[in-house]
Amino acid sequence: MSVACAGNPVGPDSTNSMPAWLTALIRQSEAQPVANPPAVIGLYEYKGESVYFLPQRCCDIMSVLYRADGSVACHPDGGLSGTGDGRCADFFRERRNERIVWRDTRGAP
């Protein structure tokens, strides 16, 4: 698993080769206060597609699963019920080949 340094993407997923929407999402995350735990974006294979997962920042906020084109596929968990929007309830069970493409290391030891 690749891990980013100093908040930057690593490996073949550097910002030069990332889709513009993902680079914008990373910049947007970097403009927000540091989350606890720090924000991370993972790339997975899910139902034959490459998807990007942004976990929830806190409590009642839903996580977001993005398709490769940047559109929102679903919200796997979080929200008031803790179970997301129910459209991809099997994501955690069915996801494969995790690769961390970005991790916010601001304030990390």
For 11, which DSSP code?
G
Q: For the segment 39-96, what is each residue's pLDDT rounded down to a tens digit?
A: 999 999 999 999 999 998 877 889 999 999 999 999 999 888 888 899 999 999 999 9
Ordered by start, the domain boundaries in the chain are 11-103
Structure tokens, 96: 């494969």
Q: What is the reported pTM?
A: 0.82
- Cα 1 to Cα 97: distance, rounded to the nearest angstrom: 9
Residue 19 neighbours by CB distance under 10 Å: 14
pLDDT digits (tens, 9 = 90+) for 10-21: 434 445 589 999
**Rg of the chain on CA atoms, in Å:** 13
End-to-end CA distance of the chain: 19
* Secondary structure of residue 5 in the 3-state scheme: coil
Residue among 58, 52, 57 at smallest CA distance from 88: 52
Residues across the chain: 109
